[in-house]
A and B are shown apart, each in its own frame.
Chain A
C-alpha cells in the first residue's frame, strides 16, 4: 500500500547537500526567503565535497589577476568553455573565499600571514589555497552557517525523483524519504539543482557511490538543455593496486611537481615518461594510457607512483606528506602502506563531470524557475578542468544560483500542480515493488553498465566500440530496466535508491555515448583514437541535448564568445 504524501511548501528548494547546494541555500536565505535543502545522504557524509583533496583556486596573489586566471581557465579547457561563465568564475572566486572564512572555514596561511598559495599544473600563477581538512573542512563550515539560519530547513536522507513543472515553469519536486520510504511532494517557486556529477557511470572511478548524475537526468526530464555530455574528466593517478585502495585518488600535481615531494611516475621498466614540468590532467592521462596500451604498464594495468626515490631523507619526506596530504597519508598508514617505502600502482579513472546542465551567469537553466550550480552544471571549464577549480566553482555558482532563485521566488507566485504528473510519478516510484520472475538486482545492472562504459566509452573512444555500446545501452533500457526489482521494505531500502539511480545512469550513458560518437575530434578529455587531432575548424562547438516529444534530441551550437 502506498503511504499518503507528506506535502510541504517553500520558496526555494535546493537539491544537493554538497558545497554548491549549501552555498546556494545560504545565499537564498540571505534574501529572506524560506529555503529547503534536500540531501540524498547526510551533509558532510555525501557527494563529492568531503573527498575533495587538494585546493581551492582563487587569484589572490599580487602577481595574479582575474584576467590571468580567466585566460588559464580558457586555455586549460581547450577553449571550449563558456566565456561569460569563466569570466564570472574568475571574478568572484576570491570574494567567496572571504565568505567561507566568515563562516569559520580556515585556509592555510604563509609566514607573511597571507593566504598560502600553491602552484599547480596549468595555473600560470600559484593560486591553490589550502582549506584546512580539504573539502570536508569547507562543508563543515557551510553546515555550521546553515544551522545559524532558521529560514533554512535541511532534510537529509531524501532523494528527489522528479522535478515538477506546470505552465512551462518549475512547481516543485517529488522525493522519497529514504529513512521511512514515504513519498514527499514539495511545492516550491524555484528549484536549484546542485546534485553533482555522474562519474559513477564508469567502473573505474574515484568518486563516492552517490555521484550518479541524478540532477542532470532530472533536469533533462524537466526540459532543461544539457551541454557537452561527452566531456568527462579522468583523473590520471588513482590507485589500482593494492586492491583495497582501489579508487583512491593520489594528487599527482602535489606528489610529482615542483620541490614538494619529488615523486616519480614509472613504467614497467621503471623508466620515467612524464616531462619535468608536470602537464595538465588530460595530457597526463594520455601519457599514462600510452604506456599501458603499448605494453609498458605495471602488473595491474597502471603505472608506478614512486616517491621512495625522492632526494629528501625519509623523515623530511614523512613530515612533508603529513603537511601536504595529512588525511590520506595517515589513512594509507592505517592500511599498513607507507608511501615513503612502497610504490603504488595508479591509473586514470573517472573523476569529474565537465558536461551537464546548460546555465547562464545567473545559473538559469532553460526551464524558468530552475537553476543549477556546481558539478551538475556544464561548461564553466570546457574540455578539461584545472586543479582546484571545482571547489571554487561550487562557491561562485552556488551563491549565484541561490541569489537568482530567491529573486525568482520574490517575483513569482507558486505554479499550480499538474496532478496527473504527480500521480504518474508516484506510480512509477512504487512500480519497483512489483514482483518479477525474471528480476534483476539494481546493483548488478549498475555494474554491467559501468563495465560497458569503461570498456567502450572510457578513456579512449572509437566509432565501432561506441556503436556497440549504444546498442547495448538500448538493450539495457528496453530489456533490463523493466526487470529491476527490489525487496518489499520501505525504510532504508538501498536497492530502491540504486534502482532510481541506475535508471538515471542508463539515460546518461546514452547521452555520453551519442555525443562521444558525434564529436569527431580529440579535445581535452575526449580522446577519439580514430580522430586523434583537435579540429578547431569544425569542432570549436558545443553539443546540446534536449528532451523532445519524440525522444532525445542532439544538436550542435556555436560557442558563446
Chain B
C-alpha cells in the first residue's frame, strides 16, 4: 500500500489518561492510533491496544455483553460512558479517563465500592 492510501485508511485516535497507582503523582497520557473497522466499540479498542500495542495498559477487561454490568464504565470526553456500548466513528479523536465517581486504582481502573 503506498503512503497516500495508507494515510486515507480510516483510523481512530485514543488518548488515555494513565492514572498512576500512587495518588500523589500526577496522571500522564498515552496516545494510540488504531485502524477503524465497522462496529468498533471503545471496549474492543482498549482490548486491541492492550493485546497489540501496550501490555502495560490497565483497564477492566470484563464485559457482560449486554451493557448492564457497568464493569467497563469510563469517562469519554468527560462524560460517563460504558466502553462496551460506546461506538467509535472513523476519524474519532477521544480522551478516555477513569470514571470520576470511584477512586482510581491504575490507568482506567477504579474501585467500585
Query: Which A residues form the contact surface with B (CB < 8 A)?
Result: 41-42, 44-46, 50-51, 133, 136, 156-157, 179-180, 206, 208-210, 242-245, 247-249, 327-328, 330-331, 334-335, 441, 443-444, 486-487, 489-495
Contact = CB atoms under 8 A, between A and B. Distances in A.
A247 B63 CA distance: 11
Interface of B: 21, 37-41, 44, 50-51, 55-71, 85, 87, 105-107, 109, 111-113
A396 to B, nearest CB: 24
A64 B92 CA distance: 56
A443 B41 CA distance: 20
Given A242-B39, A244-B38, A331-B67, A208 B62 contact: yes
A486 B56 CA distance: 9
B33 to A, nearest CB: 20
A45 B60 contact: yes
B101 to A, nearest CB: 14
Contacts, number: 105
Given A331-B65, A331-B68, A486-B55, 12 more contacts: A41-B60, A41-B71, A45-B71, A50-B64, A208-B64, A208-B65, A209-B62, A243-B39, A244-B41, A249-B65, A443-B51, A491-B106
A136 B64 contact: yes
A137 B41 CA distance: 26
Given A334-B85, A443-B51, A492-B106, A136 B60 contact: no
> Which applies to chain B's interface (DSSP): helix, strand, loop or mixed?
loop
17 contacts: A45-B69, A136-B68, A136-B69, A179-B106, A179-B109, A208-B65, A209-B63, A243-B39, A244-B40, A327-B68, A444-B51, A486-B55, A491-B106, A492-B58, A492-B107, A493-B56, A494-B59
Given A179-B105, A242-B39, A244-B39, A494 B68 contact: no
Residue among A210, A491, A492 with most chain B CB within 10 A = A492
A441 B55 contact: yes
Given A486-B55, A494-B61, A495-B55, A327 B112 contact: no
Contacts of B64: 45, 50-51, 136, 208
B85 A247 contact: no
Q: Which 6 A-B pairs have the closest CB atoms?
A: A244-B39, A45-B71, A492-B58, A491-B21, A492-B106, A327-B66
Given A45-B60, A45-B62, A441-B55, A334 B41 contact: no
Residue among A50, A157, A206, A334 with most chain B CB within 10 A = A50
A179 B68 CA distance: 23
Nearest to A497: B61
A487 B57 CA distance: 10
Contacts of B62: 41, 45-46, 208-210
Given A41-B62, A208-B62, A335 B68 contact: no
Nearest to A210: B62
A385 B101 CA distance: 41
> Which applies to chain A's interface (DSSP): helix, strand, loop or mixed?
loop
A156 B102 CA distance: 15
A441 B85 CA distance: 28
Contacts of B70: 45
Contacts of B39: 242-245, 335
A523 to B, nearest CB: 30
A44 B66 contact: no
Residue among B58, B66, B87, B112 with most chain A CB within 10 A = B66
Nearest to A247: B65
A130 to B, nearest CB: 15
Contacts of B61: 209-210, 494
Given A41-B60, A45-B62, A492 B55 contact: no
A334 B86 CA distance: 9
A136 B113 CA distance: 17
Contact of A331 (B85, B106, B111): B85
Nearest to B72: A45
Given A41-B71, A42-B71, A335-B39, A494 B55 contact: yes
B105 to A, nearest CB: 5
Contacts of A443: 50-51, 55
A333 to B, nearest CB: 10
A440 to B, nearest CB: 11
B55 A487 contact: yes
Contacts of A50: 64, 68-69
A396 B71 CA distance: 27
Contacts of B107: 492
Contacts of A133: 68
A214 to B, nearest CB: 14
A486 B57 CA distance: 12
B55 A327 contact: no
A438 B83 CA distance: 34
A365 to B, nearest CB: 27
A331 B66 contact: yes
Nearest to B106: A492
B105 A491 contact: yes
A156 B85 CA distance: 24
Nearest to A53: B66
A50 B111 CA distance: 18
A443 B58 CA distance: 14
A490 B63 CA distance: 23
Contacts of B63: 208-209
Contact of A179 (B57, B65, B111): B111
A398 B64 CA distance: 22
A528 B65 CA distance: 32
Nearest to A243: B39
Residue among B55, B70, B111, B113 with most chain A CB within 10 A = B55
Contacts of A208: 62-65
A328 B66 contact: yes
Nearest to B84: A331
Nearest to A207: B65
A443 B50 CA distance: 9
